[in-house]
Chain A
């Protein structure tokens, strides 16, 4: 989809939606919520919902927050050329940075002037404004991508990098925040709690993904040779995926505690009805399907002519597998591995249900205490970890795909 750079493009509906949502949220939805103490906030009894318009009176510069949205709306409504992508992207990222960077100052100013009580949280309006500006910036990137020269994917990362850097600074180095969410983050980060949970989370998902890969590839290869094995293992792995995770983890507790009762020495290695052992087992079982399926279909997808040629040239079964079949199936297998890895980093948040640890620790704590801050403390890093794993494996997959396979099927026959 390459068009002439000066061609008139249709309106960017995505950017219009983003700008409208931002302006609407700024005008009508609670921007900051506050309460006299954390417990009141936790019970969702909000003493006060402060909207942006009332805050602007106390802290006039906050008006800057809505300027980029107005600009973006005007740019998006005109049938503008692809170059307008730069305008949208700039407005979106500036808005994103403005909303993020001013939120702490608004809370501090509001608390100082008495408009806000001691415990403050971002309100729905602020969240929606962030999403709206994100949409505007993304719409800009989409439009830039249509013009041939721009390789603008990396641009999208700039505001995110800036926000991440600022967030890290807030969490690790700045004064105790006025924002309750940030206070909780600061607390957990500075005592090392969150780092430990992220470490556990990565460890749980890495070990179980590795086991899923080993078992899944073995079953996929076996299934390639024996159709019945393929059908049976795909069926069983599919059934496992339909089990609710809670039930699967629960069902694994009993055999593991029986095992630990029978061989008490296992307890020294942390194996028992509760803890990481049943959690890793459960996660591994969950992760099997994509690996088995993609290994099997990837191997089956190698053309009969190539298999025949390989055998006719005197390859042994093992040489055929490692020199021809696996290199060919590699992109498909890696796609399955990526799916499993991302899925397991997500489900690993449930490991804490049976004492497995990980970021689920904060989420469960948040649910118990009805504390949004703790839920987010678990959920935000969990999402970031999953996205990072996804990007890393996507990159790896493209690197490992043999060059000859990246070429589209060529010319004649």
Chain B
């Protein structure tokens, strides 16, 4: 815990005409999700691919668990690091099970153990193994393919997971759902995730730390909270956008402000019309409240039972707080 798992130490990558990554210094801690974000071509993919040596830095070092990542053969390194690429890249000629089991197979696991692991992972990413194990990638929807991609990256239980715009090509609804699933999966597997995205909402939703890049340089590396309220410069401010209050609401989990209570005379009688799940954020709660005509909103658990309530007054207080911060900064 004490030492960071990934360290970029003065890393620079220069292509013939262009510096893709310029003197990058960055530390990522165990079990955290670090999201790289920035405009297209700013060096996110290049930074990510230097971690598993698909790209070799021109100068500087990358330490993994304190050891330079070029101290062993690149294949050895890569088998310890899960990788979900920008274009999914499932192997068309292999079944879903064979795709997921490929790294364990490279590592020489016995067949029985691979089969068990495949079923376990398919279940984890929300695909029924019995139905999907023997399908081929071309028989899956885009969202299902992406889930298989995530399962494949997790197969050998690597401590680190690299994800390069994994949900970039999906429709907003599927995207949202897979983000929720990733949060759920991360609670189970507790990996160190390095995640690349274009989308500031996605970054705020998933990140413990956000790294904002511009033209190969790291502009700010901080918590989502800090990025929102203490942007390092105008570029970051512009990148974060104008609706900071809404985004900040997205950082506050519902459970942290809800009041416990059974349905009864104290609460609205027709509470089923609009509810929020426990895992949601205040942003979702606000949407639900608006749909309710700004009444108190029920919070429900996975089984649909009422777990608590978000009071209208409480929601408005939080909103006012955030607005005053917005005015102050």
Contact = CB atoms under 8 A, between A and B. Distances in A.
Interface stretch (A42-50, A306-314, A362-370, A378-386): A306-314
A219 B134 CA distance: 35
A413 B142 contact: yes
- Of B85, B88, B93, chain A has the most CB atoms within 10 Å of the CB of B93
Contact of B138 (A311, A323, A327, A410): A410
B46 interface: no
Contacts, number: 94
Contact of A309 (B75, B83, B143, B169): B83
A411 B141 contact: yes
Given A303-B87, A303-B89, A324-B91, A413 B138 contact: no
Given A306-B92, A311-B54, A314-B103, A410 B85 contact: no
Majority SS of interface residues in chain A? Answer: helix
B86 interface: yes
Contacts of A312: 49, 52, 54, 78, 83, 85, 162
B145 interface: yes
Interface residues of A, number: 29
Contacts of A409: 138
A411 B152 CA distance: 21
B85 A404 contact: no
A413 B169 contact: yes
Contact of A410 (B76, B77, B139, B162): B139
Contacts of A407: 136, 138-139
Nearest to B174: A412
A409 to B, nearest CB: 6
Contact of B77 (A304, A314, A324, A328): A314
Interface in B87-111: 87-95, 102-103, 106
B145 A403 contact: no
Contacts of B83: 309, 312-313
A340 B76 CA distance: 41
Contacts of B141: 411-413
B79 A403 contact: no
Contacts of B79: 313-314
Contacts of B90: 306, 309
B136 A403 contact: yes
Contacts of A408: 138
A319 interface: yes
A402 interface: yes
B140 interface: yes
A323 B138 CA distance: 18
B163 to A, nearest CB: 11
A313 B79 CA distance: 6
- Of B54, B106, B143, chain A has the most CB atoms within 10 Å of the CB of B106
Contacts of A402: 92-94
A316 B86 contact: no
Contact of B136 (A309, A324, A404): A404
A305 interface: yes
B93 A327 contact: yes
B87 to A, nearest CB: 4
Interface of A: 303-306, 308-316, 319, 323-324, 327-328, 402-405, 407-413
The 7 A-B pairs of least Cβ separation, nearest first, read: A309-B89, A314-B78, A305-B87, A413-B142, A305-B89, A404-B136, A314-B79
Interface of B: 49, 52, 54, 74-79, 83, 85-95, 102-103, 106, 136-143, 145, 152, 162, 169-170
Given A312-B49, A405-B93, 5 more contacts: A312-B52, A313-B83, A313-B106, A324-B91, A413-B170
26 contacts: A303-B87, A305-B86, A306-B92, A309-B85, A309-B88, A310-B91, A311-B78, A313-B79, A313-B83, A313-B103, A314-B75, A314-B78, A314-B106, A324-B91, A328-B92, A328-B93, A404-B93, A404-B95, A404-B138, A407-B136, A408-B138, A411-B139, A411-B141, A412-B141, A412-B143, A413-B142
